[in-house]
Every structure is written in structure tokens, then in C-alpha cells.
């Protein structure tokens, strides 16, 4: 929808004909023109003239753009004050998308309605459905003190109802066969949590498996699937006459994450002699429909045929997408959600993995189980209201991942800013800090970063020129430069240009033509024709016949695509931390923005640090490190609550 704006009292930020209350919030940078226009249009459609109600609706629109499913009208002042100042923020992640004039009032000084009066006006409004049983034909809904655009409340209800239904009663299972499979695939004394995950998946239609990097999530998933195949492939376990083997689907939010999942699971299954799998993106699993972003071929009227669906990198999944998956699952199918709950949430609406962990876990240690295989229940304790003990299993023992990296990740997660900074300053084999004194990092401050970028780029270029796609893809994963912003001094545009220049100087080659050999590229849209997905990375390689191809996938099984067949791509000499989710690199350099950037959060720093397999280098000020660790992401949601 196009929005017409005009200067009001000399301020181009205030939409034309905006009411005085919304105009004031727009001038302060709290609302954009789109927020204002959407709210006022809803007011016209429903006959609501109260500007306080319009303001609440505009804030609900703003909340969705910031990744929240709703806005808490009792806490909105605090949330707005935290992120209203960012002008270089990434849309859909955080920040208001608007900027305040220098003479605009502070957020706290704006004419906020009184809480009690505001809620009373909302409950009486013809625009607003009051409570879960309110009218179904209103565009905005107030539940307790959380205000939703109605479609996101409905998605939340879909997830809530499906989760409760799936956990309402255990599934029947051949217990002797289950115990035998658990003994076979989890023989180690330290495998209690992994055993619990497999046992839960056998007995329940929903399992949430979470844990940090190196804790064995993928290995556990492979053995879990092997266990289910042993236990459920028997005809007696599937109605007595089922001739087909267990139908298992593996999926992830991005093509890169799906490829990594498939490679890792296949490696472990081959070691166990338990077959292989095929992983795909969630959108491809559901069956994208041309011309639709939110409707899929598989839905509640055309269910997925699978007996088990394993969804990796669940922290990246949005609320609407999880709702569509749950609608498409057969009622008797098992769903296993896998991910790191401490990572950045979806760039779209919701933080569903964290919400589900909070909703389902009990206050006791939900992953601690006694040592015997026959006793897989939780230790005695009083579960939280609505909790489902055993539904969430968190892996905590790291089987790989450098000790220094693990200690740093733990300090970040715990909010121990001084400890995180001390670990970075101490350095070591796996951790390094390039501490600068100014918020704007200069390339002269970081020669070691230049060396890493140049070395990786030189190896990639040499392999690409030789037509060695596997070696080029290997080089592509040796180092990655990560940033928080798209624009500005700490943004992708600036650092990608610097990195490209460093590689050019090291190789003596300048990128020329539309497809220069050695250019790393990032796919930015899903494409059914080529099977490429948003987030896939590749490299332009000489085809040995005077042309080029672009290699994607893993080095052991590169996929070659001619440039003319590619969907939209862009160079990827540097990328945002959000884009890097689902990927791992041998070495990672993360350039932090200034300490006052709202994008600088605990989840962003943790996600950046845990992309590294061998070394992470953090570039920034001490204040930026402390600010990141001290600032957890806050996304408003009702999923973790009782209703």
C-alpha cells in the first residue's frame, strides 16, 4: 500500500491528515506512515474515532514489524524506548523503522494514554474483539493486556491448541522394542538426555530438542530416527498391515540449513547402518503455491503424508509458518522441533522455540533422568501450570566446540557481561578480541581480519579458476565476516566492499563482468525451478569450456547451476548475523556496531559467536560487548502464557 506523506508543521515524518496524537508519535520516530495509515484505515472500516484506540492499533502494527506477535499495552513505553532510535536497523528484526527529529519529545514525554483508561477504551471499541471469546469479525483483539492484529492471534491459537492436543496423551508403543532400540543406539553412560529425547519422540506426538552448538543435537536426531524406525516400522506397531516403511521428513527454514542437516544426519545413519534421509526447506515440504506467500499445497484439508517430521533450526521459524506446519500434520504424526533456544529468533513474527520451551518446561531440570533405561521419567517435582515434563529436552554436554568458545557462549547466555569481556580479552586458540576505542571501526584497526579475508578469498578464487567446485565451496566456509546492520558504518554494504577490495589486492584480480570467477553469492529468493532457497550460498566457478557455473551445496556433493537459471542473488563478501543462522564457518569475524544500536543484543552476539567452529574474532568497543550481553531481545507474545 502506498502512503502519501506531506510536511506537517515542517515535519516530513508526519503523514498527511494524521490526527494530532498519532502525528506526535510519528514525529517522535515511534510510528511510521504505514503504521498510522493502517490504524486509521481500520478505524474508518469499523467506525472507531477514538485516537487512543488508533494509537494502540498503530503500535500493534509496529510490533509485528519488530518481530512481536502483539503489543503489551502496559509495557509498551519501555519497549518503544529501547528501540526507537535506530535508523539503520534491519526491517522486521528490531527498531521502529522511523527516526525522530532532534527536537522531538523523548518517548517518556509523549502523551501516552493512562493504562486503565486505555484498556477500557480498547475493550469497548468496535475495532477490538475483547478476550478469546470476543467477536470473530474484528481486525484487532485484546487478550488480557496484549493487543494483537487478529491474524497473529489466530496463528498463536493454532499453535497453542495443536501443542496441547499433541501432548494430551502418550502414544502407545512397544516398550520392550523401545528399550532394545535405546540400548542399541544410546549405549553410553552419558547418553541419558539423548535417550530421553528418543523415548519422548516414540511416546509423544511432540518433542522439543534444544541445546547449544556441539551438544550433539544432530547426532541425537539421527539416532532418534533410527530408534523410531526400529520401533515403528514393525507392522504391528502401525496397524498390523502397513507395508510401507516409516515416512520421515526432515526440514529446515533455509536451503543451507537443510543441506547441513541432511549431510550430518546421513553421516551418522550410515555409521549406524540405518539408511539415509532427504532434507528440504519447510516451504518446499509444505508445497509453495505460486502467487501465495502464506498458503501452501499441504494444509488442514490436504495433510502431509509423513509419520514423523523433524524440523531443524526451529529458532528461525516464524509463528505463522509453524502454525501452517501444525495445520498440515496428520493428527497421529510425530513432530520433533530441534534448535538452540538462545539464538536469534525469526526475522519475521514470533520467537516460537523460546516460547514453547518456556511454556512446556517445568521448573525442575526437565532433561535430567535417572541412569536406568527403564526409568525415563523426570525426577519428582511440581511442574509449572500447563507444563509437560519431558516434552522439552535440553542437551548441555558439549562433544565438540572449543572450550574457550563454549565458555564465551555460556557467559553471553547468562548475561555476565564482565566475564564475556574478560574471556575475549584473555584470548586464546578459539577466541580473539580486536578492541577499538571508537564506535566506528576502521579497517586500519584490524589487519588480522584483512589477512583472514584475503587468505580465504585467494583460496576460493584459485579453486574457482581451476574449475574445482568442491575446493571452492570448502574455501567459502573457511572464514565469514559478519555484521549486525545492512547499512551504515557497521553495515554489510561498507564491509562487503572492503572485503572485496582486500581479496582483489591479494589476488591481483578485479571483478569484471556480470559473473566474475570466484565471486561468492547469496540467493535471496526461493526458486522451485532450480531448487535453490533464500539463504543458499555459492561461488562462481570456471566450467572449463569458456563459461561459468555457480556451485552450491556441500563440497562433497556440489550442485552446479548456470547463471541464467539462477533466481535473484547478491555478492556475499560479508553478511548479517541473521543471514548466517543455520551455517557454520571455520573462522568467524563479527564487527559490532556502536553500543547504542538496538540491533546489538545478547542473542545476536551469541548467534555470531556460535557460527564459528574453530575461532571467533570480535571487533568492537568494550562498551559494545557489555551492551550486547546486557540487552536480551524482548518480543511480546502470548504463547508462553495460559491463554
Q: What percent of the chain has pLDDT over 70?
A: 86
C-alpha–C-alpha distance, residues 265 and 217, integer Å: 10
* pLDDT of 486 higher than 50: yes
As to burial, measured by CB atoms within 10 angstroms (0-12 exposed, 13-18 middle, 19+ buried), residue 183 is: exposed
**Residues 449 and 481 sit within 8 Å (Cβ to Cβ):** yes
**Residue 238 DSSP code:** G
**Residues 141 and 150 sit within 8 Å (Cβ to Cβ):** yes
**C-alpha closest to that of 639 among 136, 56, 153, 72:** 153
* pLDDT of 12 higher than 60: no
More confident position, 634 or 445: 634
C-alpha–C-alpha distance, residues 363 and 71, integer Å: 27
Q: Which of 40-49, 600-609, 628-637 has the lowest mean pLDDT?
A: 628-637
Looking at residue 603, its pLDDT comes to 94
pTM (2 d.p.):
0.85
More confident position, 389 or 407: 407
Looking at residue 607, its pLDDT comes to 95
More confident position, 335 or 239: 335
User: What is the secondary structure of 35-83 as a DSSP string?
Assistant: HHHHHHHHHHHHT---HHHHHHHHHHHHHHHTT-SSEETTTHHHHHHHH
pLDDT in tens, 455-480: 999 999 999 999 999 999 999 999 99
Residue 521 dihedral angles phi and psi, to the nearest 5°: -130, 155
* pLDDT of 380 higher than 50: no
Looking at residue 369, its pLDDT comes to 36
Report helix, strand or coil for 549: strand
C-alpha–C-alpha distance, residues 223 and 384, integer Å: 30
* pLDDT of 98 higher than 60: no
C-alpha–C-alpha distance, residues 269 and 362, integer Å: 32
**Mean pLDDT, residues 222-244 taken together:** 72
**Mean pLDDT, residues 111-137 taken together:** 94
**Residues 186 and 224 sit within 8 Å (Cβ to Cβ):** no
**Residues 336 and 359 sit within 8 Å (Cβ to Cβ):** no
C-alpha–C-alpha distance, residues 84 and 107, integer Å: 8
Q: What's the pLDDT band for 511 if we cut at 50, 70, 90?
A: confident
Name 435's bridge partners: 620
Query: What order do you get walking across the sheet with 569-571 strand by strand?
Result: 559-561, 548-552, 537-542, 520-523, 569-571
More confident position, 526 or 145: 145
**Mean pLDDT, residues 317-343 taken together:** 95
Phi-psi region of 386 (alpha: psi -120 to 50; beta: other; left: phi over 0): left
User: What radius of gyration do the chain's Cα atoms show?
Assistant: 25
Instruction: Give the N- to C-terminal CA distance of the chain in Å, as an integer.
Output: 33
* pLDDT of 79 higher than 80: no
Cα 84 versus chain centre, distance: 22
pLDDT in tens, 558-602: 999 999 999 999 999 999 998 888 788 999 999 999 998 888 999
Q: Which of 10-14, 98-102, 124-128, 606-610 has the lowest mean pLDDT?
A: 98-102
Amino acid at each position: 500500500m502506498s502512503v502519501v506523506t506531506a510536511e506537517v508543521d515542517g515535519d516530513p515524518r508526519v503523514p498527511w491528515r494524521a490526527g494530532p496524537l498519532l502525528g506526535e508519535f510519528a514525529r517522535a520516530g515511534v510510528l511510521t506512515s504505514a503504521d498510522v495509515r493502517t490504524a486509521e484505515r481500520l478505524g474508518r472500516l469499523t467506525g472507531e474515532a477514538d485516537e487512543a484506540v488508533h494509537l494502540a492499533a498503530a503500535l500493534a502494527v509496529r510490533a509485528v514489524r519488530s518481530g512481536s506477535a502483539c503489543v503489551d499495552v502496559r509495557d509498551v513505553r519501555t519497549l518503544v524506548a529501547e528501540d526507537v532510535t535506530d535508523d539503520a536497523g534491519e526491517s522486521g528484526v528490531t527498531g521502529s523503522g522511523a527516526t525522530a527529529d532532534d527536537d522531538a519529545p523523548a518517548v517518556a514525554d509523549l502523551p501516552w494514554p493512562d493504562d486503565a483508561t486505555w484498556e477500557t477504551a480498547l475493550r469497548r471499541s468496535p475495532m477490538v474483539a475483547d478476550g478469546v471469546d470476543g467477536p470473530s469479525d474484528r481486525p484487532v483483539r485484546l487478550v488480557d493486556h496484549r493487543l494483537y492484529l487478529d491474524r497473529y492471534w489466530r496463528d498463536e491459537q493454532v499453535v497453542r491448541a495443536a501443542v496441547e492436543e499433541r501432548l494430551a496423551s502418550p502414544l502407545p508403543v512397544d516398550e520392550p522394542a523401545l528399550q532394545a532400540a535405546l540400548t542399541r543406539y544410546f549405549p553410553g553412560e552419558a547418553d541419558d538426555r539423548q535417550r530421553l529425547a528418543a523415548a519422548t519422540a516414540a511416546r509423544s506426538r511432540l518433542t522439543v530438542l534444544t541445546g547449544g552448538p556441539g551438544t550433539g543435537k544432530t547426532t541425537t536426531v539421527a539416532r532418534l530416527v533410527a530408534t523410531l524406525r526400529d520401533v515403528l516400522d514393525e507392522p504391528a506397531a502401525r496397524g498390523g498391515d502397513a507395508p510401507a516403511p516409516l515416512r520421515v521428513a526432515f526440514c529446515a527454514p533455509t536451503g543451507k540449513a537443510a543441506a547441513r542437516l541432511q549431510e550430518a544426519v546421513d553421516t551418522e545413519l550410515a555409521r549406524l547402518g540405518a539408511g539415509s534421509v532427504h532434507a528440504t526447506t519447510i516451504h518446499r515440504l509444505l508445497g509453495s503455491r505460486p502467487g501465495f506467500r502464506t498458503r501452501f499445497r499441504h494444509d488442514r484439508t490436504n495433510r502431509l503424508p509423513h509419520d514423523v517430521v523433524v524440523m531443524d533450526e526451529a529458532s528461525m521459524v516464524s509463528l505463522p509458518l509453524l502454525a501452517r506446519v501444525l495445520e498440515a500434520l496428520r493428527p497421529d504424526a510425530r513432530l520433533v522441533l530441534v534448535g538452540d533456544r538462545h539464538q536469534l529468533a525469526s526475522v519475521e513474527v514470533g520467537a516460537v522455540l523460546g516460547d514453547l520451551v518456556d511454556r512446556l518446561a517445568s521448573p525442575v531440570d526437565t532433561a535430567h533422568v535417572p541412569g536406568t533405561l527403564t526409568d525415563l521419567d523426570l525426577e519428582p517435582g511440581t511442574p509449572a501450570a500447563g507444563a509437560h515434563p519431558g516434552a522439552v529436552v535440553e542437551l548441555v554436554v558439549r562433544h565438540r566446540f572449543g572450550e574457550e568458545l563454549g565458555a564465551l557462549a555460556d557467559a553471553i547466555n547468562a548475561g555476565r557481561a564482565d566475564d564475556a569481556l574478560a574471556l575475549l580479552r584473555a584470548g586464546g586458540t578459539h577466541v580473539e578480541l580486536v578492541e577499538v576505542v571508537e564506535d566506528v571501526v576502521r579497517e586500519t584497526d584490524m589487519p588480522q581480519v584483512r589477512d583472514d579475508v584475503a587468505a580465504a578469498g585467494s583460496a576460493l578464487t584459485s579453486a574457482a579458476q581451476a574449475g574445482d567446485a568442491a575446493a571452492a565451496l570448502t574455501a567459502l566456509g573457511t572464514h565469514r565476516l559478519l555484521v549486525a546492520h545492512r547499512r551504515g558504518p557497521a553495515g554489510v554494504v561498507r564491509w562487503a566492499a572492503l572485503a572485496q577490495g582486500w581479496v582483489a589486492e591479494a589476488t591481483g584480480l578485479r571483478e569484471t563482468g556480470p559473473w566474475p570467477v570466484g565471486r561468492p553469492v547469496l540467493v535471496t529468493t526461493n526458486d522451485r525451478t532450480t531448487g535453490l532457497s533464500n539463504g543458499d550460498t555459492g561461488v562462481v566457478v570456471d566450467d572449463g569450456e569458456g563459461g561459468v557455473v555457480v556451485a552450491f551445496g556441500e563440497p562433497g556433493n556440489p550442485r552446479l547451476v548456470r547463471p541464467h537459471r539462477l533466481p535473484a542473488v547478491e555478492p556475499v563478501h560479508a553478511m548479517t548475523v541473521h543471514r548466517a543462522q543455520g551455517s557454520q564457518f571455520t573462522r568467524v569475524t563479527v564487527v559490532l556496531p556502536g553500543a547504542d544500536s538496538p540491533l546489538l543484543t545478547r542473542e545476536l552476539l551469541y548467534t555470531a559467536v556460535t557460527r564459528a567452529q574453530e575461532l571467533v574474532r570480535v571487533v568492537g568497543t568494550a562498551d559494545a560487548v557489555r551492551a550486547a550481553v546486557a540487552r536480551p531481545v524482548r518480543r511480546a507474545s502470548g504463547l508462553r502464557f495460559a491463554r
